[in-house]
Chains A and B, each alone.
Chain A
Amino acid sequence: MKQRVISAALAAAFLAAPVAALAQDTDLAKRVEQLAAELEKVKAELAAQRAQAAAAPAPRAEATSVPAQPAAAAPASAPMVAAASDTVFSGYGEVNYNHPVRNASGAQTDLRRAVIGIQHRFDEKTKVVAEFEWEHAIASASDRGESAIEQMYVEREFNNGLRGKAGLFLMPVGLLNQNHEPTAYYGVERNFVETAIIPTTWREAGVGLSGEFGNGFTWDTGLTTGFDLTKWDAASDEGRESPLGAIHQEGQLAKSRDLQLHGALNWRGYPGLLVGGSVFTGKAGHATTDFAANDARVTLAELHTRYTPGAWDLSALWAYGRISNTEALNATFVGKPTPVPSSFAGWYLQAAYKLWQGNEYALSPFARFESFDTARTYASQPAGLGVPTTPYERVATVGANLMVAQGVVLKADYQKFRQDKSRDRVNLGVGFSY
């Protein structure tokens, strides 16, 4: 029983620790991995001593935000763990309601996503991580839902502290992409900069390597699939919603003639502070026969920071993307509404404050200001044939997250748009993550 409590406490305090809390320690990533390995040992002992069937309640985490690796945070007493201590199930999901204030008929409720995660540890250093996702409740030929494998990769830790991974994995970009569970962010909907400019949830297939420099620095690099510009549909508005979202490949029969390099650097050398950035670059034409933009290169760069002193949770992010050599391709699209932009960018500032915390509840109001432009510039076109660039859309969001227990969140917010005021809306949502 004592060991059960220890294991549960370890799980809750470390593996289920929120990102904000994780940021408090300089060698955090390393320690988490060590603790994960220790926890596996404890679980093995527990499995051998299963004299008691009653589950001990897991202690509550101290923070409201999400575990960095929810898959590793399953309660030690969960039946699935009992059945296979090396295999951990996790999950998250959310249901959202959007109510445009100027167009009540546009009110909509959607089961945004339901995700099942399975992580299996082969040994202390080797694991496989997989996430299975359904979006919009029903996926079939006549429905608009999607079914997707969001991640599926194997990871191996080497003796020198390096970690290598191979498969389909999330890109180490921004604050949201790798921690996108509804309990991990403020507001009902994910922020615009990290959906329209950074195509969260952005995953690619390939190989990656991670490590640390000491002094609080961690790094990631890798060689993966990239974007497929031959998919661009100038007649659809998809490319205006998210240029990269319109041409990402998601590991599905991904064209791989041109690969993408990425690098990310993060620093957690000061308690409560995370500062980081990343760069991604790769060509996107794949030497396609008779394609007018085989030299097009997609580059995305971003900087991010998050600071969590006391009850505050402050974050900021800037992202900038380019698609080069699109003049000839865009000439073929003249007269159509959505040519390929040559640059797109955005930034946001966000502040949240844990106003009240009870035994099982925590209320955190927040405010976010975003500015983003999915078509900041276009490559030049002959006079009269170009499409005007769009202005930066500016969105202010105010609302609150109410955490219930540790893994459930109720959300409400109001979003005001500067350019397209018809999009002003009230949002409500419920989400969970375990």
Chain B
Amino acid sequence: MRHLKPRPAVLFLTILLSGALTACGGGGDSGSTPATSTAAAVSASFSPSAVLGEKIYNDVSLSASGRQSCATCHSPDNAHGPTNDFAVQLGGPNGDVPGFRASPSLRYMQQTPAFHFEADGTPVGGFNRDGRARTLQEQAERPFLAAHEMANVSKADVVARLQRASYAAQFRATFGDNIFDNVDQAFSRAQFALQQFENEDPRFHPFDSKYDLFLAGKAKLSDAELRGLALFNDPTKGNCAACHPSARGAGGSAPLFTDFSYDNLGVPRNMRIAATQDAAYFDLGLCGPDRTDLADRTDLCGAFKVPTLRNVATRKVFFHNGAFTNLTDVVRFYVTRDTNPERWYPVNADGTVDKFNDLPPAMRGNVNTAEVPYNRRPGMAPALNEAEIADLVQFLGTLTDGYQH
């Protein structure tokens, strides 16, 4: 699958949407655990919708279990991602229903364009790992209603809980006295409030990593970090920047380390996901099962969104299925997937390697084997050696928000 840098139009949109970011980006106090006074100061600048959004985001009473909020899986204490190392988070009425995909960080999502196909057919943009939500507002719907997440039985269920919330009066004051009379509208406003909170709270996009300061000429990378950046950028070595751009965008916008494209990496099947006990179950990303509109695009089966690499070092699990729990292993997988597949995939009884075992055999040809560093065969040297892998991981550590001088 080819990857495109976002078109100028996309970049323009990006810059347009980042207008709000420039006013708040780079705040020195927007680290992982801002002081209460700082948080209060930040909240003071919110729009009424965003103020509500923050309350909704942290409100466990909006879940069937009464124990789960957005912040449970997207904790501000860990780059708005999970704090545990579960491959998939647990939800449902009793908090014991496993999900299907690893929870992503919610940081740096604000500039994601809506899902679309580029002129050359490359799929780009969208929210969720399969891009099926067009906006953050739309993305906010599913967690309220999914059986393995907050598990409300309906929108009316959610709205009823909203009406009992301590901020119900504020909700009415913001969206109209009669807002709760119309379930769909009230639910939609809650989604909107969440979107505004994510857009307006600088903690979702602080741009204060060591790398940001380095780009600004205000910090120096260590030799190992700098070597890692070189490997990251080098098209013949890591080639990471091909999908995770490290350079400023048009107009000088800070790099997001994603080009919003999709890739099929052939990540190993993760047997820690309960659903995989069914041998017939496959998560095919763009072409299903969660996403249904591209079900007939079998060429896209197995492709998942290229995530931002900002805060990647804070992740406890990696890839859409949480198959990896160690960043060094992730980099090793990239460079040895094709030179030493036996390291990552089960070996069949006949000694052959069951490569790309998280895809149906008919779809394994969709996996990206063309680009560096995948373009290798057993017996060839990996694109990076162990020392280079260590350097690259050192560099990835500079992408963590809240760098303290």
List residues of chain A with CB under 8 Å of any chain B CB: 230, 233-235, 288-294, 328-329, 331-337, 382, 384-385
User: Per-residue 0/1 for B211-254: is the Cβ within 8 Å of any A Cβ (1 yes, 0 no)?
Assistant: 01011111011010011011111110110010000011000101
The answer to whether A230 and B252 touch across the interface, beta carbons within 8 angstroms, is: yes
- Is B226 touching A382 in the complex (CB atoms < 8 A)? yes
Contact A384 B227 (CB under 8 A): yes
Q: In the complex, what residues of B have CB within 8 A of residue A328's CB?
A: 217
Return the chain A residue nearest B212 by Cβ: A290
Known: A230-B252, A293-B217, A385-B226. A335 touches B247 (CB 8 A): no
Q: Of B212, B247, B254, which one neighbours A234 at CB under 8 angstroms?
A: B247
In the assembled complex, 18 residue pairs joining A and B whose CB atoms fall closer than 8 Å, in A order, are: A234-B247, A235-B247, A288-B252, A289-B252, A290-B26, A290-B252, A291-B216, A291-B252, A292-B215, A329-B217, A331-B214, A331-B220, A332-B215, A334-B230, A335-B234, A335-B238, A336-B234, A336-B247
- C-alpha gap A290/B207 in the complex (Å): 11
The residue of chain B having its C-beta at the shortest distance from the C-beta of A285 within the complex is B217
Best-buried of B216, B221, B231 by chain A (most CB within 10 Å): B216
Nearest A-chain residue to B213, judged by Cβ: A290
Given contacts A331-B221, A382-B226, contact A336 B233 (CB under 8 A): yes
Specify the chain A residue showing the minimal Cβ separation from B232: A335
- Assess A333 versus B252: contact at CB under 8 Å? Given A290-B212, A290-B216: no
How far does the alpha carbon of A291 sit from the alpha carbon of B253 in the complex, in Å? 11
| Contact in complex: B214, A335 (CB < 8 Å) | no
Complex-state Cα separation, A233 to B241, whole angstroms: 13
Chain A residues with CB under 8 A of B235:
337
Q: How far is the CA of A382 from the CA of B391 in the complex (A)?
A: 14
| A335 touching B215, Cβ below 8 Å | no
Contacts of B215 in A (CB 8 A): 290, 292, 332
A337 CB to nearest B CB, Å? 8
Q: In the assembled complex, which residues on chain A have CB atoms less than 8 Å from the CB atom of B229? A: 332, 334-335
Please tell me if the beta carbons of B216 and A334 are within 8 angstroms of each other in the complex: no
Taken together as a complex, chains A and B put the C-alpha atoms of A343 and B134 apart, in Å, by 48
A290 to chain B, nearest CB (A): 3
Q: Which residues of A contact B237 (CB under 8 A)?
A: 335
Taken together as a complex, chains A and B put the C-alpha atoms of A268 and B345 apart, in Å, by 79
CB distance from B23 to the nearest CB of A (A): 12
Identify the closest chain A residue to B217 (Cβ). Answer: A292
Add 18 more A-B contacts to A294-B217, A329-B217, A336-B247 (CB < 8 A): A233-B247, A290-B212, A290-B217, A290-B218, A292-B216, A292-B217, A331-B221, A332-B247, A334-B226, A334-B227, A334-B230, A335-B233, A335-B234, A335-B237, A336-B234, A336-B241, A337-B235, A385-B226
Bound-state Cα–Cα, A337 to B236, Å = 11
* Closest A residue by C-beta to B25: A290
Report the Cα distance A156→B228, complex, angstroms: 57
Q: How far does the Cβ of B320 sit from chain A's closest Cβ, in whole Å?
A: 27
Please tell me if the beta carbons of A332 and B214 are within 8 angstroms of each other in the complex. yes
CB-CB under 8 A from B247, the residues of chain A are: 233-235, 332-333, 336
Establish whether residues B233 and A291, one from each chain, have CB atoms under 8 Å apart when the complex forms: no
Residue-wise, chain B 363-397 has the 8 Å CB interface mask toward A (1 for contact) of 00000000000000000000000000000000000
Complex Cα–Cα for A82 and B220 (A): 67
- Contact flag A291-B234 (CB < 8 Å), given A235-B247, A382-B223: no
A-chain residues with CB within 8 Å of residue B254 when the two chains form the complex:
290
Name the A residues within 8 Å of B216 (CB-CB): 289-292
Whole-angstrom distance between the Cβ of B101 and the nearest chain A Cβ: 32
User: Contacts A234-B247, A288-B252 known; A334 to B233 CB distance under 8 Å?
Assistant: yes
Residue numbers in B under 8 Å from A331 (CB-CB): 214, 220-221, 226
The smallest C-beta distance from A388 to any residue of chain B, in angstroms, reads 14
Given A290-B212, A291-B217, residue A335 in contact with residue B230 (CB < 8 A): yes
A329 to B241, CA, bound (A): 17
CB distance from B228 to the nearest CB of A (A): 9
Minimum CB–CB distance for A126 against chain B, Å: 38
Q: What 5 pairs between A and B have smallest CB-CB spacing? A: A335-B233, A292-B217, A290-B216, A335-B230, A334-B230
Closest to A290 in B: B216
Q: Tell me which residues across on chain B come within 8 A of A291, comparing CB atoms.
A: 216-217, 252
Q: Which residues of B contact A294 (CB under 8 A)?
A: 217
**Which residue of chain A has the shortest Cβ distance to B211 in the bound complex?**
A332
Question: Within residues 296 to 330 of chain B, which ones have a CB less than 8 A from any CB in chain A?
Answer: none
Greatest chain B CB density within 10 A among A332, A333, A336 is at A332
Which residue of A is nearest B231, CB measured?
A335
Q: How far, in whole Å, are A328 and B218 apart by their CA atoms in the complex?
A: 9
Residue on B nearest A327 in the bound complex, by CB:
B217
| Nearest CB of B to A330, in Å | 11
| Shortest distance between the CB of B207 and any CB in chain A (Å) | 9
A333 partner, pick from B220, B227, B233, beta carbons under 8 A: B233
Q: Kindly state the separation between the CA atoms of A230 and B237 in the bound complex, as whole angstroms.
A: 26
Chain B residue numbers with a CB within 8 Å of A293 are: 217
Instruction: Evaluate contact between B214 and A385: CB separation under 8 angstroms.
Output: no
Q: Bound state CA distance, A336 and B232, in angstroms?
A: 9
Report B213 CB to chain A, min CB distance, Å: 8
| Contact partners of B223 in chain A: CB under 8 A | 382
Collect the chain A residues with CB atoms within 8 Å of residue B231's CB: 335
Q: Which residues of B contact A333 (CB under 8 A)?
A: 233, 247
Nearest CB on B from A99, distance (A): 31
For B233, what are the chain A residues with a Cβ–Cβ distance below 8 Å? 235, 333-336
Complexed CA–CA distance, A273 and B50 (Å) = 73
Which residue of A is nearest B221, CB measured? Answer: A331
List the B side residues contacting A288 at CB < 8 Å: 252
Shortest A41–chain B CB gap in Å is 52
Query: What's the nearest-Cβ distance from chain A to residue B28, in Å?
Result: 13
In the assembly, what is the distance between CA of A359 and CA of B60, in Å? 95
**Residues on the A chain within 8 Å of B218, using CB:** 290
**Bound form: Cα–Cα A391–B49 in Å:** 60
Please name all residues of chain B whose beta carbon is closer than 8 Å to the beta carbon of A334 when the two chains form the complex.
226-227, 229-230, 233
Give bound CA distance, A288 to B216, whole Å: 9
Among A235, A290, A291, chain B packs the most CB atoms within 10 A around the CB of A290
CB distance from B41 to the nearest CB of A (A): 21
Give Cα distance in the complex from A289 to B252, angstroms: 9
- Over the window 190-222 of chain B, the binary record of Cβ atoms lying under 8 Å from chain A Cβ atoms (1 yes, 0 no) is 000000000000000000000010111110110
Shortest distance from the beta carbon of A387 to any chain B beta carbon, whole Å? 10
B230 touches A385 (CB 8 A): yes
Q: Chain A residues near B221 (CB, 8 Å)?
A: 331
CB distance from B46 to the nearest CB of A (A): 24
Chain B residues whose C-beta falls within 8 Å of the C-beta of A230 in the assembled complex: 248, 252
Contacts of B212 in A (CB 8 A): 290
Give A288 to B235 CA distance when docked, in angstroms.
28
Give the distance to chain B from A186, nearest Cβ to Cβ, in Å.
39
- The distance in angstroms between the C-alpha atoms of A398 and B252, with both chains bound, is 44
B251 shortest CB reach to chain A, Å: 9
CA distance A290 to B27 in the complex (A): 13
The docked-state distance in angstroms from the alpha carbon of A238 to that of B235 is: 17
- 235-283 of chain B: CB within 8 A of chain A: 235, 237-238, 241, 247-248, 252, 254
